Structures are given as C-alpha cells and as structure tokens.
Amino acid sequence: CNDGDWVESLSALVETMEGELKIVYWTTLLDPPIPAGRRRRRTAELAA
C-alpha cells in the first residue's frame, strides 16, 4: 500500500484492530502546551 509522503503532511495511515484504515495526524495526538506561568522552573537545579 503506497500511502504517500506522511513526513510532509505530519500524518500516518494506520490499521485499527478491527481492520479499518484511518489517517491520524500527530498534531491531534499531542497534549496542549502548558501555559508559561505554570511550568516548573529548573534553573536553580541546573546551575547547582
């Protein structure tokens, strides 16, 4: 099965356990980014 260039489209053709073919996009699989104010700061740990 030639499913094209998935690198440029950031997608993949996958087969489910039921045998269905689906296109998945890596951008929909990621968790949303953490707001900057809620990130843990490790500057002091790295400097020590």
pLDDT per residue as tens digits for the range 1-48: 566 666 777 888 888 999 999 888 877 666 666 676 655 666 555 555
Sign, CA torsion 35/37/40/41: positive
| Pairwise CA distance, residues 24 & 26, whole Å | 7
Q: What local confidence, expressed as pLDDT, does residue 25 receive? A: 83
Q: What are the sequence ranges of the domains in the chain?
A: 1-30
| Pairwise CA distance, residues 23 & 8, whole Å | 14
**What is the pTM (predicted TM-score) of this model?**
0.43
Q: What local confidence, expressed as pLDDT, does residue 46 receive? A: 58
